[in-house]
Amino acid sequence: MTTYDIFPGADGPEPQAPQRADFGSDFLWGCATSSYQIEGAGTVDGRVESIWDRFAATPGRIRDGSSGAVACDHYHRWPADLDIGRDLGLNAYRFSIAWPRICDGVSETPNAKGLDFYDRLVDGMLERGLQPWATLYHWDLPQWLQDRGGWASRDTVDAFVDMADAVTRRLGDRVGHWITHNEPWCTSIIGNYEGWHAPGLTDLGTALQVAHHVLLSHGRAVPVIRANVPGAQAGISLSLHPLRPASAAPEDVAAMDRHDGLRYRWFLDPLYGRGYPEATLAQVGKAAPVVLPGDLDDIAVPTDFLGVNYYFPETVAHDPDHGPLGARILPPQGEITAMGWPVAPQGLSELLARVDRDYRPGPLYVTENGSCYDDVVTGDGAVRDVERRRYLMRHLAALRQAVAEGVPVKGYFAWSLLDNFEWAEGYLRRFGLVHVDYATQERRLKDSAKWYRTFLRGL
Ligand code: IFM
């Protein structure tokens, strides 16, 4: 069994450049962002503290000591940012709702000023020909909910459904596409077991209870979305990795399977009506979540699409001393980005084909895919991000392959429109197609953005 050689990196064959015409005329081409990473305006118009504000204020949690308090100041600069999206030729835009703008934990009613912001933003998208794709939860839980137990508490499920109700009542006449959660793996495991994301806890049992409540809140929110939004398209976005064992040795293959049980099947099996994987339940033992009668039926609510966020593959080795499953992710070999993530475009087509084959979830959308590099603004004001441009081009070639193989993928959202607050990495990491000078808030199209624009013009 090989590791990376079937995921061509820098040395892999150069694909034929993808063309927009290789995809259907109704294919969606977007960029994705999230509220905490770009909005700023942390205390404006009644927004309350989120778990990321609290986490960022804790010394040592964010690598550059920063926070999302100002970020890209998108809260005030959104018209110009949406202009950029329109001028790139996008036909869709994915954004998220900041729950702390909507629910302050004190008032009986949602915060009108918070809802007004998203109302203006959505109108702005529609005026510019951008189909709005709203994510209800992209990690910025109100701190007041964390103080009451956060996602480990069942009450947060109800609070999420109430927020989803308020938001979809207000925007549902104009927003048809709703993503309940972005990357439940990160919310649950990174935030509550690995602890390097907010709220910074390190307990597996808490993390798995969080994952269960996140999935339950998805299942309970979807019918509410459908009730409030005529013709709603509702789904969820998962971050997934194609996997390889470190070697053909049976223990590495078994370790990969254990890792897959938690990383992939733990989320997808219950979403598609199979409950939690038995083997993984046995492996996590007492850390297994409390599941009440009816929960699994709720989680398995029919959806209209599945969002797949793809960045890189993982190679898994047997290591009895590592984690609850005795499985360790090996450091990448070959080409990597500035995050240290392997560059493996073929992983995208492989992953989409696998998800389609395993679960038949219906339409698939790549709701995130992108790369981080140490960009430099040259004297003439250009950002010659050759590597990101190449990353984007090769991943679109891999997407074309998936489409050609009959995988029902219907759209692609590049991560991200703008450089932004990259969580525990602060502003040290840039993923944008558009460069942001945080001192002046000036935006500059990088060469990757110009390539995407040329691609979208069909040139
Ligand atoms: O910036 C994040 C995003 O918020 C979620 N998906 C991965 C991106 C890059 O790390």
**Domain of 179: which CATH number?**
3.20.20.80
- Residue 69's domain comprises 20-457
The verdict on whether residue 212 carries a ligand-binding annotation is no
Is 11 inside a domain boundary? no
Rounded to the nearest integer, the mean pLDDT of the chain is 97
- What pLDDT score was predicted for residue 13? 72
Average confidence (pLDDT) over 259-275: 98
The reply to whether 415 sits in an annotated binding site is: yes
Question: Cα(418)–Cα(433) distance, rounded to whole angstroms?
Answer: 6
Please tell me the residue having the least CA distance from ligand 1 atom 2: 422
Res 11: pLDDT? 55
Please check whether residue 8 lies inside any domain of the structure. Answer: no
Q: Whose CA is nearest to atom 1 of ligand 1?
A: 422
Domain assignment present for residue 10? The answer is: no
High-pLDDT (> 70) share of the chain, %: 97
346 lies in some domain: yes
pLDDT reported for residue 14:
81
Residue 13 covered by a domain: no
Question: Atom 4 of ligand 1 has which residue's CA nearest to it?
Answer: 34
Whether this model's pTM surpasses 0.85? yes
**368 Cβ below 6 A of ligand 1:** yes
**Is residue 4 a part of any domain in this protein?**
no
Residues labelled catalytic: 183, 368
| Best of 368, 430, 433 for a ligand 1 pocket test (most atoms within 8 Å of beta carbon) | 368
131 labeled binding residue:
no
Flag whether 43 is in a domain. Answer: yes
Closest C-alpha among 65, 166, 28 to residue 456: 28
Angle between helices 74-88 and 447-456 (to 10 degrees): 50
| Chain segment 102-148, per-residue pLDDT in tens | 999 999 999 999 999 999 999 999 999 999 999 999 999 999 999 99
Cβ–ligand 1 distance for 349 under 6 Å, the answer no
Listed in sequence order, the residues at least 6 apart from 118 whose beta carbon sits closer than 8 Å to its beta carbon are 97, 101, 134, 167, 170, 171
Residues 6 or more apart whose Cβ sits within 8 Å of residue 97: 35, 118, 134, 135, 136, 137, 163, 167
pLDDT at 6: 40
Testing ligand 1's pocket by substitution, the residue of 135, 415, 418, 420 carrying the most ligand atoms inside 8 A of its CB is: 415
Question: What pLDDT, on the 0 to 100 scale, is given for residue 7?
Answer: 47
Cβ–ligand 1 contact at 387 (below 6 Å): no
Say if residue 76 carries a ligand binding annotation. Answer: no
CA distance readout (Å), 373 to 119, 187, 370, 383, 385: 34, 25, 10, 11, 8
Considering the domain boundaries, does residue 434 fall inside one?
Answer: yes
Is any ligand 1 atom within 6 A of the Cβ of residue 185?
no
Cβ neighbours for 210, distance < 8 A, ≥ 6 positions apart: 150, 151, 152, 187, 188, 191, 192
Determine if ligand 1 sits within 6 Å of the CB of residue 309. yes
Whether residue 293 has pLDDT greater than 60: yes
Confidence of residue 51 (pLDDT cuts 50, 70, 90): very high
Ligand 1 and 452: CB distance under 6 A: no
* Average pLDDT of the segment spanning 152-172: 98
Q: Is 431 in the pocket of ligand 1 (CB under 6 A)?
A: yes
If one counts the domains in the chain, the total is 1
- What pLDDT, on a 0 to 100 scale, did the predictor assign at position 12? 62
| pLDDT the model gives residue 320 | 97
Indicate the top mutation candidate among 96, 431, 433 to test ligand 1's pocket, ranked by most ligand atoms within 8 A of CB: 431
